Each structure stands twice: as structure tokens, then as C-alpha cells.
Copies of this chain bind each other. A is one copy, B any other.
Amino acid sequence: MEKLTLIKVGGKIVEEPDTLQQLLRDFSSIDGYKVLVHGGGRSATKIASQLGIESQMVNGRRITDAEMLKVVTMVYGGLVNKNIVAGLQALQVNALGLTGADMNIMRSYKRPVKDVDYGFVGDVKEVNADVLASLIKQGIVPVLAPLTHDKQGHMLNTNADTIAGEAAKALAKYFDVTLMFCFEKKGVLLNEQDDESVIPEIDRVSFQKYVDEGIIQGGMIPKLENAFQAIDAGVKQVIITQASEIHKNTGTRVH
């Protein structure tokens, strides 16, 4: 199978003109088939606040009421997505901005209310991978915003890490997928105080060992559990790296 690199970058990188330009240059230099998934939470929070809408977060996730859904639809689907697409087109990358509603590529259902009512937040139900794969094979580079739809007329807010993971898993039927998560650090660190102490490779056995020894802890545990889940679903490798390193062979390789 042919190789595909699917890169997820967080909001911070894509929301500041300088870091965005560098990211787009690095992304454009990656060979072969590729997909970019972006966040945009900081801009959403900022614009919501300017509109007098308060951002409420629970467990790091945004509560999305009707007014906040309008904001994220504007900011993720419009402002952030189209600036990335225009920037990539200038670099001769044939980008196409997509939400899950476009060509029904990612359908979700509104998250059921349990302890928390997250509002208009979608959990992914189905990825239309053959449509995505066909675009990619035509030389198009999808730029995915963190928005899905319920196929009943409503947009839904969906976490960008989830979009990246679900797209990678679905595309694994068609490509040899490398899923790359960009992170503030250069990778998973042996020593949190030493930014250069990147663990080059982690498999399930070493993961368990690092967790037992307390080297891997906190938010990195669910991140790596998600990575192993993607591997189980057919993704070739997951790389945890820094946005500025996406075009280099660095970071932590999870396999």
C-alpha cells in the first residue's frame, strides 16, 4: 500500500501567522499523500469572548451550546480552515477544506447527556473513507476542521484528536498510515525536566514498563492509549512530535 501521513496540529500553531507559515512550509515539504487536521480552540475562545459568550470547559472539553456551536462553526470551518487552505494553495499544495458534513465524510451523533451535558458535541459514528481516499488519490490534500454533522441537518463540535484518530483508522484500509500528533514537546520524554530526553520508540511492553516506573504519567497516558488503539485498528505507526519537526524523522514512534 502507498504511504499516507496524517498530521494533527493544535490550535496554537495554526492560529498565529508566523507559526502557521512555518508549519505550512514544513507540511508542504512532506512527500506523498497527506492530510492535515487542525484545532482552533484559542481563536474560538477569543471570538466567543468578544461576542460576549463565555467558554465553559469540562475535562478539557468545550461545552457547546447553540451560540458556541455558531462560533466554532465559523472559526473552525471558516476562519482557521480557509486560512490554512489558502496558505497551502500558495505553496502548490492542492488543499481542500472539509468538515464532516462536506460530502458526508464524517457523521457523528450528539453525545448523550450523562454526568455532563456537553451540548452540540459529536461522537464519530462513521467515516466515509472511500470518498476521502478517492480525493487523496486524485492528489487532493484534505484539511479537516474539527466539526462533524449528524446527517439530520446539524453541525456538531468534535475534538480534533478524535477527528485525526478516526480518519487515520478509516484510511488504514487504503493506505499505509502514519498518524502524527503535534505536541508542545519534541516527543514523550524520559525526564520531564529535559526537553531533549525524547523516548524514540514505545511499544505496549515498554509503555507498561514506563507507566509502572512513573516515567509516563498524567495526560500522556490516555494519549498513548489512543495511539495504541489506532495501531490496533490498522494504523501503521503513531508519531508524537513537535509541530516544527513534522518533516524530520524525530519524535516518539508508537507501534
Contact = CB atoms under 8 A, between A and B. Distances in A.
A149 B87 CA distance: 10
A85 B102 contact: yes
Q: For chain A, what secondary structure do more than half of its interface residues adopt (helix, strand, loop), or is it mixed?
A: helix
Given A47-B51, A94-B104, A99-B97, A79 B86 contact: no
A205 interface: no
A30 B143 CA distance: 30
A74 B85 contact: no
Contacts of A73: 78-79, 82-83
Contacts of A173: none
**Listed residue (A74, A77, A149) with the most chain B CB atoms within 10 angstroms of its CB:** A74
Interface in A71-99: 73-79, 81-83, 85-87, 89-90, 94-99
B82 A99 contact: yes
A82 B95 contact: no
B50 A90 contact: no
A82 B101 contact: yes
A74 B51 CA distance: 14
A86 B140 contact: no
Interface of A: 47, 50-52, 70, 73-79, 81-83, 85-87, 89-90, 94-99, 101-104, 140, 147, 149, 151-155
Q: Which 8 A-B residue pairings sit nearest by Cβ, starting from the closest?
A: A78-B78, A74-B74, A90-B153, A77-B78, A74-B78, A86-B101, A86-B149, A74-B79
